[in-house]
Amino acid sequence: MLIDIHTHVVNSNFNPKECKTNFVINLFLKKTNYTNYENYITNLISLINNSKLDKAVLVAIENSELCANNEQVFEICKKYSEFLYGVNLSPFDKDIDLKVQNAYKNGAVLVKILPSFQNVNLSDKQCIPFFELLKEYNLPLLVHTGKEYTLKTNSQNLNNPDLLENAAKIGVKIICAHCGTRIFLHEKNYFKNWAKLAIKYENVYGDLSAMITPVQIFDLKKILKSHELKSKVIFGSDYPSFPFDLSVKTTNNPIIDSYNFYEKIGFDDTMFKNAEKVLNL
Ligand SMILES: [Zn+2]
């Protein structure tokens, strides 16, 4: 089964006129021909069906005016077989054991955390019971790593892969979104931190989502040169994100453009096989 491990959907109440958006968000929405919630979902389904992919993980984000929350994503996943449920939780949520249990019962295939947006330091010892729960339910953890561009942030340092050492030691399957990379040259790059963790721990992976700018090509080439790192990456588009590489002829389908880009530079089927393995599909 071919999977896109990382896609997003707008909140059903999203109103571009009222919600504060930045140039990145505006660019993405323009590209999706966004008119309303329903049309966003139907467009995304046809993009998946027109690609070689079978399914995409829809990642929920709680407390965001822009992104769909757990309840909305769960409803979409119940209705359309193209989607798999990516639940957003925090180790500091009230009744977290019940929430993890419910997410599992509701068919969640992974748990997403955006440390800088949720203001969570994953190296905090208080997160350990949460990691033990994820291990018990065999739920992988997808963590945003590297700079956050679209959602309000507390400290960007919270997105450092080094903070995942405890979770890695416990044996949680961890997917570091964007492999810790940055989009602009002057920004802090956490790629080396990710690479170190992915080499040290068998259960640590990285997703290739939104690694599509000219700055990230340096890090992508480092992955391709290392057999160990190349075996640890997973395909993701971070839809509505799309490749900025002008050398890839656009198909006007950002999902196809994304995997065409990775395949063109040398990534192979491992990026799809890893998704099946990590998500227990
Ligand atoms: Zn994302």
Mean pLDDT, rounded, for 102-121: 97
Mean pLDDT, rounded, for 144-155: 82
Q: Which of 16-20, 64-68, 183-187 is predicted with the least confidence, judged by mean pLDDT?
A: 16-20
Query: 17 Cβ partners below 8 Å, 6+ apart?
Result: none
Q: What distance in angstroms lies between residue 137's CA and the mean position of ligand 1's atoms?
A: 23
Asked whether residue 109 carries a pLDDT value surpassing 80, the answer given is yes
Mean pLDDT, rounded, for 18-22: 74
Q: What distance in angstroms lies between residue 7's CA and the mean position of ligand 1's atoms?
A: 6
Asked whether residue 18 carries a pLDDT value surpassing 80, the answer given is no
Q: What distance in angstroms lies between residue 207's CA and the mean position of ligand 1's atoms?
A: 10
Residue 230 has a pLDDT of 97
Binned at pLDDT 50, 70 and 90, residue 156 comes out as confident
Q: What distance in angstroms lies between residue 177's CA and the mean position of ligand 1's atoms?
A: 7
Mean pLDDT, rounded, for 202-214: 91
Q: Which amino acid is at 138?
A: N
Residue 104 has a pLDDT of 97
Domain spans in the chain, listed from the N-terminal domain onward: 3-278
Cβ-contact 143, 176 below 8 angstroms: yes
Half-sphere exposure of 226 (CA within 13 A, CB side): 15
Q: Which amino acid is at 104?
A: Y
Q: Report d(CA 4, CA 106) in Å as an integer.
A: 20
- Residue with token string 């395909």: 235
Q: What distance in angstroms lies between residue 69's CA and the mean position of ligand 1's atoms?
A: 13
Instruction: Tell me the Ramachandran region of residue 252: left when phi exceeds 0, alpha when psi lies from -120 to 50, beta otherwise.
Output: left
Mean pLDDT, rounded, for 252-272: 93
Closest CA to 150 of 271, 22, 59: 22
What 3-state class would DSSP assign to 94?
coil
- Better-scored residue on pLDDT, 99 or 147: 99
Q: Report d(CA 60, CA 67) in Å as an integer.
A: 7
Binned at pLDDT 50, 70 and 90, residue 17 comes out as confident
Asked whether residue 232 carries a pLDDT value surpassing 90, the answer given is yes
Asked whether residue 152 carries a pLDDT value surpassing 90, the answer given is no
Mean pLDDT, rounded, for 132-160: 90
Asked whether residue 185 carries a pLDDT value surpassing 80, the answer given is no
The helix (H) or strand (E) run that includes residue 2 is none
Q: Report d(CA 112, CA 151) in Å as an integer.
A: 14
Q: Which CATH code is given to the segment(s) 3-278?
A: 3.20.20.140
Residue 241 has a pLDDT of 86
Asked whether residue 95 carries a pLDDT value surpassing 80, the answer given is yes
Supply the mean pLDDT for the chain.
Answer: 93
Q: What residues does 84 pair with on adjacent strands?
A: 57
Residue 245 has a pLDDT of 72
Half-sphere exposure of 111 (CA within 13 A, CB side): 25
Q: What distance in angstroms lies between residue 165's CA and the mean position of ligand 1's atoms?
A: 22
Q: Cis peptide leading into 140, omega within 30 of 0?
A: no
Q: What distance in angstroms lies between residue 8's CA and the mean position of ligand 1's atoms?
A: 7
Backbone angles phi, psi at 181, to 5 degrees: -85, 175
Residue 274 has a pLDDT of 96
**Protein residues within 5 Å, CB atom, of ion ligand 1:** 238
Mean pLDDT, rounded, for 82-98: 97
Closest CA to 6 of 50, 51, 61, 81: 61
Residue 27 has a pLDDT of 82
Q: Report d(CA 265, CA 273) in Å as an integer.
A: 18
What 3-state class would DSSP assign to 109?
strand
Mean pLDDT, rounded, for 140-165: 90
